[in-house]
Every structure is written in structure tokens, then in C-alpha cells.
Amino acid sequence: MEELRAVLWRPRFARYIRPESINPYLMQIWNVAQHIDIASPIRACRDPKDDMFREVAVHGQADLIVTGDRDLLALNPFRGIAILTPREYLERE
């Protein structure tokens, strides 16, 4: 949640979400999110900060990860989990 909060406050996202909407939006996500316990760490990404997304996906048995992060996209697929750009996700059937 802290990572999402930090990303949403970046200037490039200002055209998508107003600053006063960020906290209510995060609360909505928190209320419906499935919280995942990480049983074992995963170290696979060029950027170690991105490993947390793989950990959540693997331990949460996700079908896919949607991201624009090139370090994450470079390991597509990861343990059977597809890693797609937002455009690729939207273009799927």
C-alpha cells in the first residue's frame, strides 16, 4: 500500500487521479484487498525493490501481474504468472 501511495503521488499520475482522491481510493483498495502472507522471500528481479510484487503474486496464486515496470516485464512469465503491460492486458480477449 505504501508503494501504491508513493506512485499515485508522482506528478505524472496527476492527470489520472486528483490528490484529494488518493487516500479515499487507497482505503477502498485496502477494504477489498486480499492480504497475503509471504512464506518465503523471492529474489529474482534486477531491481530488488520489485521482488515484493513477485512475492505477492506467487504466494497469492495470482494469474498475472499488470505493470509498466521494465524490470518486472523482463522476467515474463514468472513461475507461470504472466507479466503484462496495461496495454497488453486491455488488448486480451
pLDDT value at residue 81: 95
Planar angle of CA 82, 84, 85, nearest 5 degrees: 170
Can you give the residue ranges of every domain in the chain?
1-33, 37-93
* pLDDT band of 93, cuts 50, 70, 90: low
pLDDT at 45 over 80: no
The model's pTM: 0.74
Q: Compute the mean pLDDT over every residue in the chain, rounded to the nearest whole number.
A: 90
52 pLDDT above the threshold of 80: yes
